[in-house]
């Protein structure tokens, strides 16, 4: 096999590179500059250890691979019986592919984020056990027999539904992405985190099942002429409430199902709102009340939180649509390419305004672009997987800088980081949909970099 066609190998990003004592220290004192630098050095040290182990395996293979030459225990003994695990679990060899909390992000884990490991996913569907978490007051495992949904406001007949009532109504199943408005929020000012799990991991995509909102509105006799806004209220301790414009009502689902089973408790069991294309905070979990009104409610979580700080100091409100965005998940930060040759560049693209039309990929920091392949199906307001063939020269021409640029069916083009900062500044938290850059060094190490 010619050298240029020899398959390369990507070493996964190191996990558990932060010691328990350092995590506790960050939790008590926050993530100041010295601790941030120590985190970076800890990550690089863990990455070097993984690279050394990989080199050792390659040397062993050159002497004859015992996995081929010798009989293996699983081929010469009886395996586990059926139903040994009544509910299936991942292999023990995949134990590092888990949701993770970013050290120092918040001081209280009950009001924090667990990021989805995008770097380890295939296709577009997020496994239920790896769906990202974002809570404001922690989560509870609510007894569905005691849960109720009230529908009131500008309706002829206010209703109170039990879960049995709701699940007897006509249902639909649809695949949609959900993204927290603060996804990639740590990257507004400077490079803050090393891996795609932490830069973009407040993102998931599932098939949701439930009753269309329109069915409930019709059942209650909603005044759709006067009713222009919907208030959604959650049943957790934070009483999360969000105003949702009725222009979105046709796609909204009151959902109890996720990927063919009931919602998980941390994702809103037994009932949540699904608002396709809109930031995740409006997908209210543990949904207990819907109220139809004629004006926005200006609740606390839409006046002092989830607003966009602009360069002039003003706050932009009710910008809930998640604009067109993409990210390369492989190769990505913390991973390492071993040997020049062929690599498959793969990633995800999505838009809150419809379908993805095209994804372009650059390996030289945006000077040249190639059109990636989109995997079917390409659905509205759903993740789309893209791939591009790439032959890496091993760094002979200098560091490679990998970028992806998505275009949706409205013609919107994902902006460069500099373009977005020119409009939004660097003091924001929410709605960062800038192009993400990963630098591949001559040694194959992949790092998070900012390219204007």
Summarize the confidence of residues 428-440 as an average pLDDT. 97
**Do 216 and 339 share a domain, yes or no?**
no
- Whether omega before 104 lies within 30 degrees of 0, making that bond cis, reads no
pLDDT for 239 equals 86
In a domain, residue 38? The reply is: yes
CATH number, residue 220: 3.90.420.10
**Do 146 and 231 share a domain, yes or no?**
yes
> How do 229-234 and 261-262 pair as beta strands?
unpaired
pLDDT for 135 equals 94
385, 124 contact by CB (below 8 A)? yes
- The domain total for the chain is 3
**Do 210 and 307 share a domain, yes or no?**
yes
Q: Which residues pair with 133 in a beta bridge?
A: 114
pLDDT for 25 equals 59
Q: At a CB cut-off of 8 Å and minimum separation 6, what does 396 contact?
A: 340
pTM, rounded to two decimals? 0.89
Sign of CA dihedral 223, 224, 226, 230: positive
**Do 39 and 133 share a domain, yes or no?**
no
In a domain, residue 65? The reply is: no
Domain boundary among 251, 284, 316: 316
- With a pLDDT cut of 70, the percent of the chain lying above it is 87
pLDDT for 225 equals 98
**Do 171 and 243 share a domain, yes or no?**
yes
pLDDT for 412 equals 98
**Do 202 and 263 share a domain, yes or no?**
yes
In a domain, residue 104? The reply is: no
Residue 106: pLDDT band by 50, 70, 90 thresholds?
Answer: confident
Alpha carbon of residue 187 to chain centroid: 15
In a domain, residue 8? The reply is: no
Q: Residue 408: pLDDT above 90? A: yes
**Do 261 and 381 share a domain, yes or no?**
no
In a domain, residue 178? The reply is: yes
In a domain, residue 7? The reply is: no
User: Which backbone phi and psi does 21 adopt, to 5 degrees?
Assistant: -65, -40
66, 32 contact by CB (below 8 A)? no
Higher per-residue pLDDT: 327 or 110: 327
Domain range for 196: 128-316
Q: Reduced to 3 states, what is the DSSP secondary structure of residue 7? A: strand
Q: Reduced to 3 states, what is the DSSP secondary structure of residue 146? A: helix
Residue 179 to residue 382: CA distance in whole angstroms: 11
Domain boundary among 265, 295, 316: 316
Determine how many CB atoms are found less than 10 A away from the CB of residue 349: 28
Q: Residue 319: pLDDT above 60? A: yes
pLDDT for 395 equals 96
Residue in the structure block whose two tokens are 């009131």: 152
CA angle 390/448/123 to nearest 5° reads 55
pLDDT for 13 equals 84
**Do 310 and 331 share a domain, yes or no?**
no
Summarize the confidence of residues 137-152 as an average pLDDT. 97
Closest to 344 measured CA to CA, from 387, 403, 386: 387
pLDDT for 303 equals 86
- Write out pLDDT tens, residues 29-87: 555 555 555 555 555 566 555 555 555 555 555 578 888 999 999 999 999 999 999 99
Higher per-residue pLDDT: 53 or 224: 224
pLDDT for 6 equals 45
pLDDT for 301 equals 85
Sign of CA dihedral 296, 112, 129, 237: negative
**Do 194 and 298 share a domain, yes or no?**
yes
- Write out pLDDT tens, residues 333-368: 999 999 999 999 999 999 999 999 999 999 999 999
Alpha carbon of residue 357 to chain centroid: 20
- Write out pLDDT tens, residues 390-401: 999 999 999 999
**Do 139 and 268 share a domain, yes or no?**
yes
Higher per-residue pLDDT: 59 or 385: 385
CATH number, residue 341: 2.60.40.650
pLDDT for 107 equals 77
In a domain, residue 415? The reply is: yes
Summarize the confidence of residues 309-332 as an average pLDDT. 94
- Write out pLDDT tens, residues 177-223: 999 999 999 999 889 899 999 999 999 999 999 999 999 999 999 99
**Do 385 and 412 share a domain, yes or no?**
yes
Domain boundary among 294, 316, 338: 316
**What is the residue-averaged pLDDT of the chain?**
91
Per-residue buried b or exposed e for 65-85, using 16+ beta carbons within 10 Å of the residue's own CB: eeeeeeeeeeeeeeeeeeeee
Q: At a CB cut-off of 8 Å and minimum separation 6, what does 296 contact?
A: 229, 243, 302, 318
Q: Reduced to 3 states, what is the DSSP secondary structure of residue 10? A: strand
CA angle 287/181/139 to nearest 5° reads 40
**Do 301 and 357 share a domain, yes or no?**
no
In a domain, residue 94? The reply is: no
pLDDT for 1 equals 38
């Amino acid at each position: 096999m010619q050298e240029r066609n020899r398959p390369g190998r990507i070493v996964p990003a190191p996990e558990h590179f932060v010691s328990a004592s350092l995590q506790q220290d960050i939790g008590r004192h926050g993530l100041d500059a010295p601790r941030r630098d120590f985190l970076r050095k800890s990550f690089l040290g863990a990455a070097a250890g993984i690279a050394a182990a990989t080199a050792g395996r390659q040397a062993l293979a050159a002497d004859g691979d015992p996995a081929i030459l010798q009989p293996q225990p699983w081929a010469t003994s009886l395996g586990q019986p059926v139903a040994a695990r009544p509910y299936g679990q991942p292999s023990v060899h995949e134990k590092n592919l888990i949701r993770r909390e970013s050290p120092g992000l918040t001081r209280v884990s009950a009001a924090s984020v667990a990021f989805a490991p995008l770097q380890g996913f295939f296709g577009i569907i997020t496994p239920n056990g790896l769906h990202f978490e974002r809570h404001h007051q922690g989560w509870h495992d609510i007894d569905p027999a005691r849960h109720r949904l009230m529908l009131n406001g500008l309706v002829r007949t206010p209703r109170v539904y039990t879960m049995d009532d709701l699940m007897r109504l006509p249902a639909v199943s649809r695949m949609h992405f959900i993204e927290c408005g603060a996804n990639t929020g740590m990257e507004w000012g400077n490079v803050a985190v090393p891996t795609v799990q932490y830069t973009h991991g407040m993102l998931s995509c599932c098939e949701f099942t439930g009753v269309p909102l329109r069915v409930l509105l019709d059942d209650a006799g909603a005044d759709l002429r006067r009713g222009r806004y919907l208030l959604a209220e959650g049943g957790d301790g934070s009483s999360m409430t969000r105003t949702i414009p009725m222009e979105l009502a046709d796609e909204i689902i009151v959902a109890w199902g996720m990927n063919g089973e009931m919602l998980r408790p941390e994702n809103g069991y037994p009932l949540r709102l699904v608002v396709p294309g809109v930031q995740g905070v409006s997908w209210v979990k543990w949904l207990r009340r819907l109220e139809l009104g004629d004006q926005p409610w200006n609740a606390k979580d839409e006046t002092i939180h989830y607003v966009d700080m602009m360069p002039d100091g003003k706050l932009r409100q009710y910008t809930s649509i998640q604009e067109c965005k993409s990210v390369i998940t492989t190769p990505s930060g913390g991973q390492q390419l071993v040997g020049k040759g062929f690599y498959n560049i793969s990633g995800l693209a999505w838009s809150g305004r419809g379908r993805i039309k095209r994804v372009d990929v650059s390996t030289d920091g945006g000077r040249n672009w190639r059109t990636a392949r989109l995997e079917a199906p390409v659905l509205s307001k759903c993740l789309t997987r893209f791939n591009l063939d790439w032959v890496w020269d091993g760094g002979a021409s200098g560091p490679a800088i990998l970028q992806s640029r998505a275009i949706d069916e409205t013609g919107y083009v994902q902006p460069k980081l500099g373009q977005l900062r020119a409009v939004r500044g660097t003091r924001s938290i929410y709605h960062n949909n800038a192009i993400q850059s990963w630098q591949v060094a001559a040694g194959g190490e992949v790092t998070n970099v900012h390219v204007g």
